[in-house]
Amino acid sequence: MTVAGRVRLATDFWFRRAGPIGLLLAITLLLGLAGQSVARPLFILGSVVVMWDLLKFGASAHYSASLVSFCLAPCLRRIVDVSAGYDPSGIMISGPLLGLLVVAPRLLARCSDGRRLDQALWPFMIAGSCVLYATLLTMAGGNITQAASGALKWIAPIVYGAWLYGEAGQEPGLIRAASH
């Protein structure tokens, strides 16, 4: 590979793949340090938009960005809380979780394409059923907010795990991204 090819490859990676998540984190950090509470909804919306955009680069790019987002979201939350006032709901943590759920339409399309369902997806479906049951019980107890929060925290990783399982056989770079 020529030097120009390597530069183009590095530029593609940093500006198209790593750039959006880095920019989102930097903007959230700057707004948080400035004491602007708008950093919270911006981070949530930005997480969804960036993760949706990264789907076009494949599962490995999406997986890498989700790890970065999950690792830095608690730190960003604390920075925004210190500067803009404490938020007991911890709503900023929902940004990376909603970013994981952008794969749900693709997973649903894979499950409903008329082919027989892969046997390895059954544990994901059973776990999802348990989350649904717990959510319904919590809602029956009158705790709607807690039910929604709990459902998001539990169902997003299950949906994402099922999607990653299906993508692992189709994208060899995913295994490499997960191991680094």
Q: With contact defined as beta carbons under 8 Å apart, do 57 and 79 qualify?
A: no
Give dist(CA 48, CA 27) in Å, integer: 15
Q: Evaluate if residue 5 carries a pLDDT over 90.
A: no
pLDDT tens-digit map of 94-118: 999 999 999 999 988 887 876 666 7
Q: How confident is the model at residue 7 (pLDDT cuts 50, 70, 90)?
A: low
Q: For the chain, what percent of residues have pLDDT higher than 70?
A: 86
Who wins on pLDDT, 136 or 64?
136
pLDDT tens-digit map of 16-48: 667 888 889 899 999 999 988 899 999 999 999
- Mean pLDDT to the nearest integer, 116-124: 82
Tokens at 166, concatenated: 């299906």
Q: With contact defined as beta carbons under 8 Å apart, do 59 and 78 qualify?
A: no
**Mean pLDDT of the residues in the chain:** 86
Q: Evaluate if residue 88 carries a pLDDT over 90.
A: no
Model pLDDT, residue 95: 94
Q: What is the 3-state secondary structure (H, E, C) of the chain?
A: CCHHHHHHHHHHHHHHHHHHHHHHHHHHHHHHHCCCCCHHHHHHHHHHHHHHHHHHHCHHHHHHHHHHHHHHHHHHHHHHHHHHCCCCCCHHHHHHHHHHHHHHHHHHHHHCCCCCCCHHHHHHHHHHHHHHHHHHHHHHCCCHHHHHHHHHHHHHHHHHHHHHHHHHCCCHHHHHHHHC
Q: What is the pTM of this model?
A: 0.83
Model pLDDT, residue 161: 92
Q: How confident is the model at residue 60 (pLDDT cuts 50, 70, 90)?
A: confident
Model pLDDT, residue 131: 96
Model pLDDT, residue 168: 82
Q: Evaluate if residue 160 carries a pLDDT over 90.
A: yes
Model pLDDT, residue 134: 96
Contacts of 80 (CB under 8 A, 6+ apart): 28, 31, 32, 37, 39, 40, 43, 87, 92
Q: Evaluate if residue 132 carries a pLDDT over 70.
A: yes
Model pLDDT, residue 1: 59
Domain ranges of the chain: 3-179
